Amino acid sequence: MENLALLIPLAPFIIGGFAIWTRHQRKMAELQVQATAEKAAQYASHSRELEERVRVLERIITDGGYNTALQIEALRDTREVEASEAAKETRQ
């Protein structure tokens, strides 16, 4: 009973602390959701890129009428040009 009487004057501070803690927890959950969404977008982009590369490889392997070595070299040249352009964009 005496302990309860001591807690009554502290109630506003306890409630205020709880409100601050709750707000902090909500903000942390929002940040976690945002980070998860960003990771999912990165994985989706990476997955699309890998699927594209697999399609190209499947086409090269299954198309018998084309010279495989020439196609591989053409793809290398394309990748080198793309890498060069990306490097130029990052420098600007």
Two structure tokens written together for 15:
């409630």
Please write the tens of the pLDDT for every residue from 24-60.
Answer: 999 999 999 999 999 999 999 999 999 998 988 888 7
**Phi, psi angles (nearest 5°) of residue 61:** -70, -40
In angstroms, the CA 10 to CA 17 distance is 11
Which residue ranges make up each domain of the chain? 2-91
Nearest to 6 by CA among 16, 14, 22: 14
User: pTM of the prediction?
Assistant: 0.45
In angstroms, the CA 57 to CA 47 distance is 15
In angstroms, the CA 56 to CA 60 distance is 6
